[in-house]
Chain A
Amino acid sequence: AQSVAQPEDQVNVAEGNPLTVKCTYSVSGNPYLFWYVQYPNRGLQFLLKYITGDNLVKGSYGFEAEFNKSQTSFHLKKPSALVSDSALYFCAVRDEGSAGSARQLTFGSGTQLTVLP
């Protein structure tokens, strides 16, 4: 079965500093990995995804994520945080090798990012 772990419920960072939101995953085959962001009373907004190829994926709003197969990680990063980045961030995985109902998207528990002015 596939699973995702976001080890930090809360991440605080000062505006202008780099930010990292951590994600590790477990799949039996090759992973498709996604990051979404959720603002209060809103749905999930797609940031970026990794399918194959370059381990560094660039996405929306200056976010990027690094895929590390040996550490089964897909950490979200941004060089300079903005107060407006404050939101709930979700990592998700889908197992490329699975079939049927296992092809659903499995989400982590979410990390609340607060950027302090």
Chain B
Amino acid sequence: KAGVTQTPRYLIKTRGQQVTLSCSPISGHRSVSWYQQTPGQGLQFLFEYFSETQRNKGNFPGRFSGRQFSNSRSEMNVSTLELGDSALYLCASSLEALVQGADTQYFGPGTRLTVL
């Protein structure tokens, strides 16, 4: 099976702009989670989508949003970009929702976002 794919792999934006990142989960996986990875804060959970519904949300401002489509593909949007949003954004998929049990999350290669 193909793994989790994320596009684009690299993005450069300026402050105030918005950005949309895309994630395609492993075939058959219905849960998609997003994480932000920075040198200072490490890996932080953004949100989880399952069956087109947001099931979990981390402690991030409302500028960070997402959605999931009927084919389980997910997008993440960040509006009004700030310098501190520069990070590696990782998408992970699992068979079932996180609340269901101990499913393993499989990660994509990430999108490296640089905000100038």
Q: A interface vs B, CB < 8 Å?
A: 32, 34, 36, 41-46, 49, 51, 90, 94, 96, 99-101, 103-110
Known: A103-B56, A104-B33, A104-B56. A44 touches B98 (CB 8 A): no
**Chain A facing B: main interface SS:** mixed
- Which residues from chain B contact A34 at a C-beta distance below 8 Å? 104
**Chain B facing A: main interface SS:** strand
Q: Are B56's CB and A100's CB within 8 A? A: yes
Q: Are B58's CB and A104's CB within 8 A? A: yes
- Which residues from chain B contact A46 at a C-beta distance below 8 Å? 104-107
Q: Are B102's CB and A43's CB within 8 A? A: no
Q: Contacting A110 at CB < 8 Å: which of B42, B58, B92?
A: B42
Q: Which residue of B lies closest to A34 (CB)?
A: B104
- Which residues from chain B contact A36 at a C-beta distance below 8 Å? 107
How many residues on B have C-beta within 8 angstroms of the other chain's C-beta atoms?
23
- Which residues from chain B contact A51 at a C-beta distance below 8 Å? 102
Q: Are A43's CB and B109's CB within 8 A? A: yes
- Which residues from chain B contact A45 at a C-beta distance below 8 Å? 107
Q: Are A96's CB and B102's CB within 8 A? A: yes
Is the C-beta of B48 less than 8 angstroms from some C-beta in chain A? yes
Complex CA distance for A105 and B12, rounded to whole angstroms: 28
Contacts A32-B102, A104-B33, A110-B42 known; 9 new A-B pairs at CB < 8 A: A41-B112, A43-B107, A44-B90, A44-B107, A45-B107, A101-B57, A103-B56, A105-B33, A105-B105
Q: In angstroms, how far is the closest chain A Cβ from the Cβ of B26?
A: 12
Q: Which residue of B lies closest to A30 (CB)?
A: B102
Q: Are A43's CB and B90's CB within 8 A? A: yes
Q: In angstroms, how far is the closest chain A Cβ from the Cβ of B95?
A: 13
Complex CA distance for A46 and B104, rounded to whole angstroms: 8
The 3 tightest CB contacts between A and B, nearest first, are: A43-B107, A107-B43, A44-B107
- Which residues from chain B contact A32 at a C-beta distance below 8 Å? 102
Q: Are B98's CB and A103's CB within 8 A? A: yes
Is the C-beta of B45 less than 8 angstroms from some C-beta in chain A? yes
